[in-house]
Amino acid sequence: MSPQATSKQQAPKILHTHHSAYRCFDAEETRRFWEGIMGMELAAALSFDHISGTDEKLDYMHLFFKMGDGNFVAFFDLPDHMRPELFKIRSGFVRHIAFEVATEAELETFAKRWRDAGLQVTSDLDHSFVRSVYTFDPNGIQVEILWKEPKYGEILAGAKGDVDRSMKAWNEKTKARKDAYRKAHAA
């Protein structure tokens, strides 16, 4: 069901992400990438034998890797629930995590660290407002390191000014396709 606005009252302002969580194949291998290569400290490695708040038995580990701003990237290692398709590389450009560095030199350092670790730098793109390099972590998750180019603020302000026109044009362009999909997949 499509979400509807529930209240005219303004929603509280979300401060920032605290963590985003993903499934990992192996805690140790995941640590080698996220701590060893990406430089994020493994701040917690919590081992559980049942699902919180229930009696359901499940062995799992919850890992938290810390970024410079105190936020985390988290993983779950569930050894009894591993299926190869869960760790396949997905279509990267529609599903990835982007991390910001302060300088272009640091972006290049990350690209080098990935290559030195035997990983592929899958793209190095100048998006005109940010430059981005991409790779994949051991769990098939695309990772982006970005550096804000000097025109970042100006270009983003222009994009903000264009939001309503752009949304209207997109909705009109794709309406027939979306309607056809909804009709075909109606419950």
The residues facing 132 across adjacent strands are 125, 146
Binding mask 140-179 for Fe ion (x = CB under 5 A): ----x-----------------------------------
Q: Are 22 and 28 in contact (CB under 8 A)?
A: no
Which 19-38 positions form the footprint of Fe ion (CB under 5 A)? none
What sign results for the dihedral spanned by CA atoms 32, 34, 36, 40?
negative
The Cα 53–Cα 47 span in angstroms is: 15
Binding mask 85-114 for Fe ion (x = CB under 5 A): -------------x----------------
Q: Are 117 and 128 in contact (CB under 8 A)?
A: no
In the complex, the smallest distance separating the C-beta of residue 74 from Fe ion, rounded to whole angstroms, is: 19
> CB nearest Fe ion: which residue?
98
Number of residues interacting with Fe ion: please give it, by CB under 5 A: 2
Alpha helices, H only, 4-161: 27-31, 104-116, 152-161
- Nearest residue (CB) to Fe ion, 77 versus 144: 144
Binding site for Fe ion (CB under 5 A): 98, 144
